[in-house]
Structure 1
Amino acid sequence: MASDLTSAEYAYLIILRAEGREISNSEMAEIYGVRLKSPDYAKLNADGYIISRTKPSPYRHSITDKGVKALLEPLTLEQGRVPEGEKRSAKERELYWAAILAQQKLFQRSASGVDRPEPTDLPGRVRAAYGKLAGAPGDWVKLVDLRVLLADVSKSALDKALEGMLGSPDVRMEPETFGHRVSVHERNAAVHIGGEDRHKLAIGQR
């Protein structure tokens, strides 16, 4: 819910929504003059609004579908009020100006009628879907279950994205150890890589 977001967290979501892709802190600083650091990035990840990759550095962030939906929810003036006797820091003012720049980018895009990709790239959506299925980072999940959450993505496109993600140090895909237990649905959902079918996915260091 947008009501759970601080004004700073909301500002970061606007920036990530405007970019519509995974963006590193270095690139964010170059474009907007700000970086998404702790505690903001940790809370946004824990609440499912963004996906962050912290290794290797610099940190890289992308907005999730939940984060996009939060930006569509109505806000109130009370959410952005500064407590009596307090003032916004220079850092906060810089962040809010960065959010205005990002919002302007969204307005210009809408006015020009230019079609843009979904707010999260496919690897980002895979990571978000994995997070919903896995009990903890590094747990194995079945690709057949992952495809259910990404039903709008064609098999060929998802296969290509999954194969590309193997280049990330925290991503693993392996065949089912007990081949006789693989169902028809699991076999159809497999990704063929390196001469073998991979049936399960794990993301995150254990």
Structure 2
Amino acid sequence: MRSTEAVITEIVEAYNCRWGQWVRVAEIAAKVGLTREELAAALETLMDEDETFRAEPEPFGHRVTAEDRAVAPVIGGEARHLICWYS
């Protein structure tokens, strides 16, 4: 298992400077090859330490795909399907 810091770096690189845009966690996981556990640790760290970062559930349940369900970590009782950095 990769370190949380390494996973965060890979997430940032896969997010690819789309600051202010919501990106599906499933897309990031597929690009980088991350597990739900790796995502959970990284997203929790980012949520705690980076005030410009958000991880949220998909607000429209009908848009949640099988890929989303497979990798979206549950944090605070909610599956986090989308991530965004605000500049």
Say yes or no: TM over 0.5.
yes
Q: 1:31-68 deviations in whole A, cap 9, x for unaligned? A: xxxxxxxxxxxxxxxxxxxxxxxxxxxxxxxxxxxxxx
Residue 54 of structure 2 corresponds to residue 169 of structure 1: no
Aligned match for 2:25, one of 139, 143, 151: 143
Relative contact order: is structure 1 or structure 2 higher (C-alpha 8 Å, sep ≥ 6)? 2
TM-score, length-scaled by structure 1: 0.37
Q: Give matches, 1:28-177, under 5 Å.
A: 121-131=6-16, 136-151=18-33, 153-167=34-48, 168-177=50-59
Identity across the alignment (%): 31
User: How far apart are 1:155 and its partner, in Å?
Assistant: 2.6
What is the distance in 2 between the residues matched to 1:138 and 1:130?
11
- Structure 1 runs of 4+ with >2 Å offset: none
What is the distance in 2 between the residues matched to 1:188 and 1:127?
21
TM-score, length-scaled by structure 2: 0.82
Assess, with a 3 A threshold, how the Cα gap between structure 1 residues 192 and 161 changes in structure 2: closer, same or farther.
same
What is the distance in 1 between the residues matched to 2:19 and 2:35?
26
CA RMSD of the aligned region, Å? 2.0
What is the distance in 1 between the residues matched to 2:60 and 2:21?
17
User: How far apart are 1:190 and its partner, in Å?
Assistant: 1.0
Match of 2:84 in 1: 202
Contact 2:36 2:73 in 1 (8 A): no
Please give the secondary structure, in 2, of the residue aligned with 1:121. helix
Contact 2:55 2:84 in 1 (8 A): yes
User: How far apart are 1:180 and its partner, in Å?
Assistant: 1.9
Structure 1 segments unaligned to the other structure (5+ residues): 1-116
User: How far apart are 1:121 and its partner, in Å?
Assistant: 2.2
Amino acid at match of 1:186: D
User: How far apart are 1:185 and its partner, in Å?
Assistant: 1.4
Amino acid at match of 1:139: Q
What is the distance in 2 between the residues matched to 1:166 and 1:196?
14
Larger-gyration structure (1/2): 1
Match of 1:192 in 2: 74
